[in-house]
Amino acid sequence: MTAKPFIECRQLVKIFKVAGSEVMALQGLDLTVEKGEIVAVVGASGSGKSTLMGVLAGLVRPTGGTVRVADRELTTESSAALESYRREMVGVVWHDPAQSVLPYLDARANVALALELQGRGGARTRADELLESVGLGHRARRRPKHLSGGEAQRLALAVALAPEPTLLLADEPTGALDRATTRELLTLLRTLTTETGLTQVVVTHDDEVADFADRVVAIRDGRVQAERRADGSGDELSVIDNLGRLQLTDAQLASLGDSRRVTVHHRDGLLELVPESGPAVTESNRDPSTPADQAADGEMDR
């Protein structure tokens, strides 16, 4: 019997109302993440990355679709159940560490407070252990304003890890860090998954962060457009959603010429998109070097 993915999103839709207008941030997004996997989510601003993070964090209720994390169906849980989910299962590291820590508490007190909110005893001792694990044992008595950017982000990570979550969400965690500090943080995140089996979803614009993950998922216009293995093994995979929609890259659209009407053939294990005139678009004549985030504005229905 095949094990279920740790995270499973099906046909997620989220519509926000802004100044009397409706903005569709997620448009039928499908996504699966395995337990212990590190997935980097990339895409242009406005593609739906942060909305997806909010849904997975239990902070944003989708307008439609389903999302399951472990054995919890987030779309049907009550507000109280979602609060319990956020407190017990999820750790979140934001782009700005100030969103995760209190400026008037030192590092130890910040982590201890997160533990005390869990109702756990021995908070000070456990806080010291967490600070040591992220390389901040010698900064335990420093307030956030006296920490460097990298140290402040590691403190935010220690706070996120306080409830011993099974899922860590990180929204641009290295955006304000230099290259050396970024590598240190990425090494720490990788070690956490190796040692504890922690599942991670990381939103980023940084190629170095994306390459540290196990898998890179590209989002465009509120849907998953493509994915690839971060180590470069295997081809980049375009994604056909549950409604049969496929987003093509600029190069693939260009190969269709002016035609936007195609016939789809299934031949010898391959799907061919044959324009009204001209050669088929198949795996053999697409441009494999075109990055996922250069997808065309158009999309083809299977």
> pLDDT tens digits for 82-106?
999 998 899 999 888 899 899 999 9
- What pLDDT score does 298 carry? 41
Residue 182 has pLDDT above 80, yes or no: yes
Query: pLDDT per residue over 33-73, tens digit each?
Result: 999 999 999 988 889 999 999 999 999 999 999 999 999 99
- What pLDDT score does 294 carry? 40
- The residue-averaged pLDDT of 166-177 equals 88
Provide the mean pLDDT of the chain: 85
Sorted by sequence, the CB contacts under 8 Å of residue 94 that are 6+ apart come out as: 100, 156, 171, 173
Query: pLDDT per residue over 124-134, tens digit each?
Result: 899 999 999 88
- Are the C-beta atoms of 93 and 157 separated by less than 8 Å? yes
- What pLDDT score does 282 carry? 57
Residue 285 has pLDDT above 60, yes or no: no
Q: What whole-number distance in Å separates Cα of residue 171 and Cα of residue 54?
A: 10
Instruction: Report the 3 state secondary structure along the chain.
Output: CCCCCCEEEEEEEEEEEECCEEEEEEEEEEEEECCCCEEEEECCCCCCHHHHHHHHCCCCCCCEEEEEECCEEHHHCCHHHHHHHHHHCEEEECCCHHHCCCCCCCHHHHHHHHHHCCCCCCHHHHHHHHHHHCCCHHHCCCCHHHCCHHHHHHHHHHHHHCCCCCEEEEECCCCCCCHHHHHHHHHHHHHHHHHHCCEEEEECCCHHHHHHCCEEEEEECCEEEEEEECCCCCCCEECECCCCEEEEEHHHHHHCCCCCCEEEEEECCEEEEEECCCCCECCCCCCCCCCHHHEEEEEEEC
Of the pLDDT bands very low, low, confident and very high (cuts 50, 70, 90), residue 1 is low
Residue 198 has pLDDT above 70, yes or no: yes
- What pLDDT score does 61 carry? 94
Residue 218 has pLDDT above 60, yes or no: yes
Of the pLDDT bands very low, low, confident and very high (cuts 50, 70, 90), residue 279 is low
- What pLDDT score does 2 carry? 65
- The residue-averaged pLDDT of 154-179 equals 90
Residue 187 has pLDDT above 50, yes or no: yes
In the chain, the percentage of residues whose pLDDT exceeds 90 is 46
Angle, vertex CA 36, rays to CA 34 and CA 42, nearest 5: 70
- The residue-averaged pLDDT of 277-281 equals 59
Q: What is the pTM of this model?
A: 0.80
Query: pLDDT per residue over 233-257, tens digit each?
Result: 767 777 777 677 777 766 777 777 7
- What pLDDT score does 300 carry? 38
- What pLDDT score does 275 carry? 80
Query: pLDDT per residue over 252-269, tens digit each?
Result: 777 777 777 888 888 888
- The residue-averaged pLDDT of 278-302 equals 46
Residue 295 has pLDDT above 60, yes or no: no
- Are the C-beta atoms of 224 and 241 separated by less than 8 Å? yes
